[in-house]
Amino acid sequence: MPRVSQDQLDARRHEILAAARGCFARYGYEGATVRRLEEATSLSRGAIFHHFRDKDSLFLAVAEDDAAAMVDTVARDGLVQVMRDLLGQARSSDGDTAGWLGTQLEVSRRLRTDPEFAKRWAERSAAIAEATRERLERQREAGVLRDDVPVEVLTQFLELAYDGMVLHLATGRPAGELSRVLDVVEEAVRRR
């Protein structure tokens, strides 16, 4: 029997995550049944759960994957760039935003209704906040961030703007002038 390389396993895992993201977005956590996950991934239950212990682990992996990508973008380019990327995806026709937004909404719902999930998710949320704080501190040291407001307050301000944008887009409201709104958000944290 031929051996499967780690690269092949990683590629399969990535394919499962991408398909599951869309399934969770479309049907929600409860509606994303194993049968629907099989259809979305074009894999058997055994193949899916070879990579993930159960549906909950699969959902958490999807959410963690999204959070890790977000942390990378925040560290490199800031939380406003995450919002700009999200807006760009919302305006595109590739469908990725629906999956990503659906995951975010499902995470929000589970944070309110599932104490065990909330406990597990706290680390991911803290990583995003920490990346935002570190980025803002670097910006302050570079002299481009306003210095009359504590970094913690600016971090919360940006997180609220992000949460509001996710809600706005997730409820199907038009993107309209959100690009200009993001310009205002960015200006609000910059040194004048």
What does the block give as tokens for 141? Answer: 């040291």
Instruction: Flag whether pLDDT at 185 surpasses 90.
Output: yes
For residue 63 the two structure tokens come to: 């959410």
**Per-residue confidence at 93, pLDDT binned at 50, 70, 90?**
very low
- Measured CA to CA, the distance from residue 162 to residue 168 in angstroms comes to 10
Q: Convert the pLDDT of each residue in 133-170 to its tens digit.
A: 999 999 999 999 999 999 999 999 999 999 898 888 87
Measured between alpha carbons, how far is 63 from 179 in angstroms, rounded to an integer?
Answer: 26
Looking at 3.20.20.140, 1.10.357.10, 3.30.420.40, 1.10.1040.10, the CATH number of the domain 6-189 comes to 1.10.357.10
Q: Would you tell me the crossing angle of helices 151-170 and 115-141 to the nearest 10 degrees?
A: 120
Which pLDDT value is given to residue 100?
Answer: 67
Q: Is the predicted pLDDT of residue 118 greater than 50, yes or no?
A: yes
